[in-house]
Amino acid sequence: MSLEKLLPVPSNYFPRMARIVINSWGSYGDVNPYLALGLALAARGHTPVMALPGHFREDVLRVGLDFHPVGLVLDEEDPATPAMIAGVMHPRWGGAYIYRDLMMPTLRETYAQLKAACVGADLIISQPLGIGAPLLAETTGIRWASTVLAPLSFGSAHEMIVPPPLPALKQLEILGPGVPRFFAWFMRQLSAPWAEPVQQFRRELGLPRGRHPIFEGQFGAPLVLAMFSRVLAAPQPDWPHNTSITGQLVNDSAQGAALSADLEQFLADGEPPVVFTLGSAAVRVSGTFFDESLRAMQRLKRRAVFLAGADTTARLAGSLPDTMRMVDAAPHSMLFPRASLIVHQAGVGTLGSALRSGKPTIAVPFANDQPDNAWRIAQLGTSRTIYPNDYRASNIIDVVDAMRRDARYARRAAEIGTIVQAEDGPATACDLIEQYLSAPTTHAAA
């Protein structure tokens, strides 16, 4: 059902200059889409306020948006940070760690920070880890829109996700529709104890017990934006009825305004390289990913670019042949279209840029939504998957060779790229937000 039918728009009601608080937490893949949304809203005359952890301050100010610190800060100097990243990216318990060990202990502090950010605001926009937003909507009456970045967040009983702890269980879907329903129920039962502190905090705020904060509770907003490409998922019968798919929102300004002169020259001097990247989170737990990738490219005698992070770049960059380059990071939107093949972790931000580039990919999913995302692009016919435990030079060579020999991957990737490039995620999201702001006040309890 379209938002227009849900929220009839009266004439001359729209507030032309809305103050809109946008709250997110996570890696750059979790923040960059909201920077894109903030810039698009600002271009329409609104005042977006990016309510993000303090370590994103400079990234926000660099693009000219307002910033308010909200949420747990990642301190690069803190000796506990590597263990935190490892917990977030744990292949079996990453989701539990994020909610139980990171989000819940800071719930009250984050709520207070978000409440301060929302003074005078017309709307708050949250993502799945923005657990304070539904509470603020109930206690203050502020309008609220929620968002997701990946289809996995809906936990549909009609389309079984790829369970991050045991991806092979996806194969049980062939046994019938009862299997996805069971897994949707099981996900809710398993995660309910992680979110019990939210129910306790609701009592402190004078609110009744709410629906599951990780699932139904975050979809009580009158507007739910699915901020991913339509090629990744079709709406399911049990998605929230007020959901609209916007298309991908891309902004990688934090990774640079241009490619380095050396990298630009390297790309111009030869055939398109294979690009290897693990985004901004999995790169911290890369293990032997870059070592095995380097061995594979040396044996294949292929040109390659590695976005390897500071530590690996310092360790390996000096020993590369002239046919390869290794850098900390680079803007995906500028690099990916010039690749022949992209090997990535299937984080939804990196994945979206790869789809948009029109290039075939190999997914190496580590945790959380990544296995499900990898399955979806494999179904599109644009990608193959190698899990980290199997990521060895010999396997990389086999898959790269197979994809090079089979022209269907490149052809299908180009077709999908054309579709994704035609989507205008920021404009669609802004249109839906403005329609919501133009409607009479309505609020659904979380």
Shared domain check, 143 and 67: yes
Of residues 318 and 5, the one with the higher pLDDT is 318
Do 272 and 327 lie in one domain? The reply is yes
Give the model's pLDDT for residue 164.
Answer: 85
Instruction: List Cα–Cα distances, 137 to 9, 39, 55, 149, in angstroms.
Output: 21, 24, 26, 21
Q: Which of 49-58, 162-171, 270-279, 285-294 has the lowest mean pLDDT?
A: 162-171
Of 14-28, 178-192, 291-305, 365-379, the poorest mean pLDDT is in 14-28
pLDDT score, position 74 = 83
Query: Is residue 12 situated within a structural domain?
Result: yes
Please check whether residue 150 lies inside any domain of the structure: yes
Residues 234 and 306 in one domain: no
| 13-63 per-position pLDDT tens digit | 455 689 999 999 988 999 999 999 999 999 999 999 999 999 999 999 999
Model confidence at 392, pLDDT cuts 50, 70, 90, reads very high
Average pLDDT, the chain: 92
The pLDDT of residue 2: 42
The pLDDT of residue 444 is above 50? no
Q: Where are the beta strands (DSSP E) in 149-303?
A: 223-226, 243-245, 274-277
Residues 159 and 289 placed together within one structural domain of the fold: no
Domain count, the chain: 2
97-130 residue pLDDT tens: 999 999 999 999 999 999 999 999 999 999 999 8
Compute CA distances 364 → 9, 206, 299, 317, 335, whole Å. Answer: 45, 45, 20, 22, 19
Whether residue 207 is found in the same domain as residue 265:
no
- 134 and 21 inside one domain: yes
389 domain residue, yes or no = yes
CB 255 within 8 A of CB 330: yes
Domain that holds residue 114: 3-248+423-438
CATH number of the domain that residue 199 is part of = 3.40.50.2000
- Domain check: are 259 and 204 in the same one? no
**Element at 35 (helix H, strand E):** helix 28-43
Same domain, 385 and 430: no
* Contacts (Cβ under 8 Å, ≥6 apart) of 429: 37, 40, 225, 227, 246, 249
Q: State the pLDDT at residue 257.
A: 87
Residue 361 lies in a domain: yes
Whole-prediction pTM:
0.92
Would you state the pLDDT for residue 440? 82
160 and 173 Cβ atoms separated by less than 8 Å: yes
* 429 and 418 within one domain: no
Domain-located, residue 446: no
Please say if the pLDDT value at position 8 is more than 70: no
What percentage of residues in the chain have a pLDDT greater than 90?
78
Tell me: do 271 and 237 sit in the same domain: no
Residues 187 and 301 in one domain: no
For range 225-233, the mean pLDDT = 97
Write b or e for each residue in 134-143: b if 16 or more Cβ atoms lie within 10 A of its Cβ, otherwise e: bbbbbeeebb
445 part of a folded domain: no
pLDDT of the residue at 442: 54
Distances (CA, A) of 52 to 244, 329, 347: 24, 22, 19
Q: Are 236 and 257 contained in the same domain?
A: no
**In sequence order, which residues have a C-beta less than 8 Å from that of residue 431 and are 6 or more positions away?**
none
Is pLDDT of 6 > 80? Answer: no
Q: What is the CA radius of gyration of the chain?
A: 22
Which of 201-205, 315-319, 327-331, 361-365 comes out lowest in average pLDDT?
315-319
Encode pLDDT of 182-198 as tens digits. Answer: 989 998 998 999 999 99
Asked if the model's pLDDT at residue 445 lies above 80, the reply is: no
In a domain, 444, yes or no: no
pLDDT of residue 280: 85
Give pLDDT tens digits for 143-183: 999 999 999 999 999 999 998 888 888 989 888 989 989 98
pLDDT at 14: 52
Answer whether residue 359 is part of any domain. yes
Q: In whole angstroms, how far apart are CA 62 and each of 35, 58, 65, 226?
A: 11, 6, 8, 27
Q: Looking at the chain, how many residues does it have? A: 446
Confidence of residue 78 (pLDDT cuts 50, 70, 90): confident
CA–CA separation, 96 and 339 (whole Å) = 36
**What is the rounded average pLDDT of the residues 70-75?**
88
Buried b vs exposed e over 39-69: b needs ≥16 C-beta within 10 Å?
bbbbebebbbbbbbbbebeebbeeeebbbbb
